[in-house]
Structure 1
């Protein structure tokens, strides 16, 4: 996704989850991300999963494997694509695994639940779809060697234990995408050797692998019969842990930005009911080097809110400043109506911004 500062910076803003409520305090609907997830999957209660600890170093390629001993795990691709006519398309695909129980079982007793959702934004509008299935019966699952994760005919697979190079296939009633993904940079482990905290006072953390530099090439089929050749760049993410939501967790805001062809920025803010928000950020280069940015050096402020028909209000414009890196941006959503009603409703999409950096080259 391109970035042209002092004119317009195209970035990706992923998430902006529902938690900003429009009603007065005494009349608010008591719906949180915690209650939504627990209602759907069941509260973890006293179930025992492997804890996320700082003394466990994420190592590659070992940790491309699946981690069923942890409660949840997800893989994500965010891509900016361009067809031969120069039209751009914003794609986000996620495969998510959640263990409703700590048992090891097969068949219909398998406690693993798989969810996959896709969003495609372009001049044609926004198209979304979602699949949910239980593991253990062949309809959905994941394999480590060779790498494969799938639900029905949606799949992401490779010929090795690593996700790249790989093939991504998704077909919906409105579009179908078939992409070849090739690494254009090294993988990076965030935080402290892959251990990424989500609050400095609460026991919330996960393990994270990122690679913001991925080449894409493939085809996009539309419902009107058109078959478009597309190419572009993508961002691959993997995360796993054992505490999907904390007791007071209410939502988060995630931003991913390609600062230029050699560096990318990730910013996340985690919001809690009775605690101050926690903001983290890191810059990753093509070699996989990570610059973790101290929390007190990140100034992220919502500048404006949008209210949807449900009464939910979400921030769709932001001020983002990181003085130590010379970053000073005003970020605004490109499209207001990018609200998606997935298992956990959220806003997803691209945004425009003005600020401190210039685009050195277009997407490759």
Structure 2
């Protein structure tokens, strides 16, 4: 970890959790429920996303992230999961340079497979060259974890990383259109309150390259999913976490289904079904049924690791199983994240994320 100062880490954790309410929320959701201050920009339904500009960062908003998951297969048939995420959190909205910049970055890296689950977390202050986002040619980095493209979009690009017992170099090609979730990228997160994010995905990625795990070099290839999201106050005070699924179905379509859980209230669901040619069907809360079937205790957390997904309007009925149970990630943002497989009306593979437990 580049910053090993206990004071710095403690300060960062307090920033994420927030101190304006006596109730302590999980840090995963605490930063997203803070009341916007310092004139941060707000997500509005009348805004439209613009590319390639919106591949870059949005420093006038409180939080954002760049997120990649991949289900990969080695030449010997073994299955591997890869997750890379870079977060940006603003400590204030006033532009400053160098060490005074309000932008703080955090990155997560996870590789899972036969060797177990390898994970790492890094932090950096923006403005000093250690982390950032460059528009042209497109580049996002934190230390030696880098996504590099030759143009002004992320694709085609190459993700390279090295940390302890894991390393990789993966080329990423987009084989479909971008998916703008909700109303052309305006993604509601609450049934009544004005809570939302700007949210888009690239669900149809093809990856190939090498992973190095515990000194063993593996040639891998497979499918990936890329998410981009930013906001200044995405969740309400009553919302406690979310359950999120991204799935490549065997008919060539991609399914995103998620729910945000609220204390003593019905969860708010949202999602989409999309195809590489650009067809997208938004899915609202009344169409999506996410039902936990069984729970497991992992690292002291009771987690729903078997699910049923029912979307009658799409004739989708899926049973969800995880590839590995032991994927609770004890980061500053703690959560469960890992590869899944589905069967039922369709077969497929993907990823699941559980937060706020």
More divergent stretch after superposition (65-74 vs 160-169): 65-74
Q: 1:349 aligns with which of 334, 338, 343?
A: 338
Residues 342, 200 of structure 1: CA spacing in aligned structure 2 closer, same or farther, 3 A cutoff? same
Tell whether the 8 Å contact from 1:34 to 1:249 is kept in structure 2 after alignment: no
Measured against aligned partners, the alpha-carbon deviations of 1:123-160 in whole angstroms (never above 9, x if no partner) come to 22111111111101111111122211111111112121
Residues 359, 171 of structure 1: CA spacing in aligned structure 2 closer, same or farther, 3 A cutoff? closer
Deviation, structure 1 residue 245: 4.0
More divergent stretch after superposition (195-204 vs 240-249): 240-249
Matched, 1:91 2:91: no
Match of 2:44 in 1: 53
1:111-150, aligned counterparts within 5 Å?
A: 111-150=102-141
Residues 84, 346 of structure 1: CA spacing in aligned structure 2 closer, same or farther, 3 A cutoff? same
| RMSD, aligned CA | 2.2
Stretches of structure 1 that go unaligned for 5 or more consecutive residues are: 1-29
Q: 1:32 aligns with which of 25, 31, 36?
A: 25
Tell whether the 8 Å contact from 2:36 to 2:232 is kept in structure 1 after alignment: no
Instruction: Give the match's secondary structure for 2:306.
Output: strand
Tell whether the 8 Å contact from 2:140 to 2:146 is kept in structure 1 after alignment: yes
Instruction: Give the match's secondary structure for 2:41.
Output: coil
Match of 2:317 in 1: 328
Tell whether the 8 Å contact from 1:211 to 1:237 is kept in structure 2 after alignment: yes
Instruction: Give the match's secondary structure for 1:277.
Output: strand
In structure 1, distance between residues paired with 2:193 and 2:265: 9
Residues 227, 308 of structure 1: CA spacing in aligned structure 2 closer, same or farther, 3 A cutoff? closer
Measured against aligned partners, the alpha-carbon deviations of 1:301-352 in whole angstroms (never above 9, x if no partner) come to 1122222343x32211112110111111121223221111011111111223
Deviation, structure 1 residue 244: 4.6
Q: TM-score, normalised by structure 1?
A: 0.85
Q: TM-score, normalised by structure 2?
A: 0.86
Length, aligned pairs only? 328
Residues 223, 334 of structure 1: CA spacing in aligned structure 2 closer, same or farther, 3 A cutoff? closer
Residues 236, 297 of structure 1: CA spacing in aligned structure 2 closer, same or farther, 3 A cutoff? same
Stretches of structure 2 that go unaligned for 5 or more consecutive residues are: 1-22, 350-357
Instruction: Give the match's secondary structure for 2:99.
Output: helix
1:1-364, aligned counterparts within 5 Å?
A: 31-33=24-26, 37-38=30-31, 46-224=37-215, 226-260=216-250, 262-273=252-263, 275-310=265-300, 312-358=301-347
